[in-house]
Amino acid sequence: MSPTVAIVGGGYGGAAVAKALQDEADVVLIDPRDAFVNAAGALRALTRPDWAGNMFFPFDRLLTRGRVLRDRAVSVDPTGVALASGGRVAADYLVLATGSDYPHPGKPAAVTVREARDDFLRTHKELRGAERVLILGAGPVGLELAGEIKEVWPEKRVTVVDPAEELLPGFGAELVADLRRQLDGLGVELRLGAGLREAPGTEPCRAGEFTVTTTTGEEIGADIWFRAHGESVNSGYLADGRLVTRTENGRVPVTERLNVRGHERVYAVGDLTDVAEAKMAGFAMRHAEVVAENIGAQLRGERPTAEYRPLPHPVVLLPLGTRGGVGQLPSPEGPVTATAEMVAEYKGADLFTARFTEQFGPTAA
Ligand SMILES: Cc1cc2nc3c(=O)[nH]c(=O)nc-3n(C[C@H](O)[C@H](O)[C@H](O)COP(=O)(O)OP(=O)(O)OC[C@H]3O[C@@H](n4cnc5c(N)ncnc54)[C@H](O)[C@@H]3O)c2cc1C
């Protein structure tokens, strides 16, 4: 009998580990969802609900050999996973990959493709009739959302508010200036260095007129608002401390080989980890390669030696609709600025649908 590798969470990191190890071990992938979610597609799924199916890759087509269990981990110890259903998966190797949640529409809260698509459609209908849109948060998610809205409804007034003084801290002045120029061209209004004195009087993602006052004293009226900040780590199932003590902000401490500290056969990948870098899908997938290599070595009776080293500079691919945007990519010589055409080609045109179709099978569209 082959050793069992239990993977908790089938996002970018977990799905990639499962796929990589399915021929070498008995892989069990545990996730309450019925599909891998490509969060990068979420904002377009909101503005173009007919496109939304492209961001989901059903789990029943992901693995050719392993098993996918539609369940939720409620506790993990070094020998296995306790499930919300009451069951248990005993494992020789464990990979924790439960990532993070993000407020709607950034990541779907619903666990089935059907319900998640219904949620996008409901919010789309609320947004469609709104003339003025307020977005709280000018990070990549808030700005991408502004770009997607402007591409479908150029006439809508879109305002993005953020207490930070500048866009994309850590990136070069030229990239930031280009981003500001493109946002200006789209007519997206930025209010930086400004918080809100009070929360909007309506629920996020719901149509309804309201006025808010910024900390700089400006009144902004809008017909709908979105929260584009407030990611939360999914690590509640580790709170009992049977496996590890989480860091102060709920992340899992890992070694350079991505072992959960203190455990040679337990690994963690992606947003869940305390690796000192921005939390990104691209990095979760690089973590997955390192972990698959290390478990692969252990399965063959060899010593695991693959190590993960964060990039020494920040990277970003920030499309503004299907044609615009800014980017900075890694290269052996250091960071390279991506033109709007490159951003569109690498991400904006299809939001990685083709790449994930190749890796994870057909979409739910
Ligand atoms: C709108 C948006 C756009 C983005 N665009 C980009 C981009 O272009 N490029 C980029 O690099 N990053 C992007 N990101 C960031 C990226 O989505 C995250 O870094 C990425 O999701 C992290 O992947 P992960 O594998 O750690 O976990 P996740 O993708 O968060 O997946 C975690 C999985 O674990 C499951 N899970 C949770 N709890 C449990 C449990 N208790 N038991 C079992 N399963 C569980 C969940 O259902 C989920 O399927 C974007 C984020 C957002 C919100």
Q: Which of 17, 31, 43 to mutate to test the pocket of ligand 1 (most atoms within 8 A of CB)?
A: 31
What is the radius of gyration, based on Cα positions, of the chain? 21
- pLDDT above 90 as % of the chain: 99
pLDDT value of position 147: 98
- pTM here is 0.97
The SS3 assignment for 203 reads: coil
pLDDT, one tens digit per residue, over 27-77 is: 999 999 999 999 999 999 999 999 999 999 999 999 999 999 999 999 999
**329 φ, ψ to 5°?**
-120, 155
Count of Cβ atoms closer than 10 Å to residue 213 Cβ:
13
Which atom of ligand 1 has the smallest separation from the CA of 269? 26
User: What does each C-alpha distance from 333 to 154, 336, 343 come to in angstroms?
Assistant: 39, 8, 19
For the chain, what's the residue count?
A: 365
pLDDT value of position 146: 98
Which atom of ligand 1 has the smallest separation from the CA of 13? 25
**Residue 348 CB–ligand 1 contact under 6 Å:** no
List, in order, residues 6 or more apart from 264 with CB less than 8 Å away: none
Residue found under tokens 């981990």: 73
- Pairwise CA distance, residues 243 & 78, whole Å: 6
> The tokens of 123 are what?
């919010």
Q: What residues pair up with 267 in beta bridges, in sequence order? A: 95, 259
Alpha carbon 349 to chain centroid, angstroms: 18
**Cα(39) to centroid of ligand 1, in Å?**
7
- pLDDT above 70 as % of the chain: 100
pLDDT value of position 1: 76
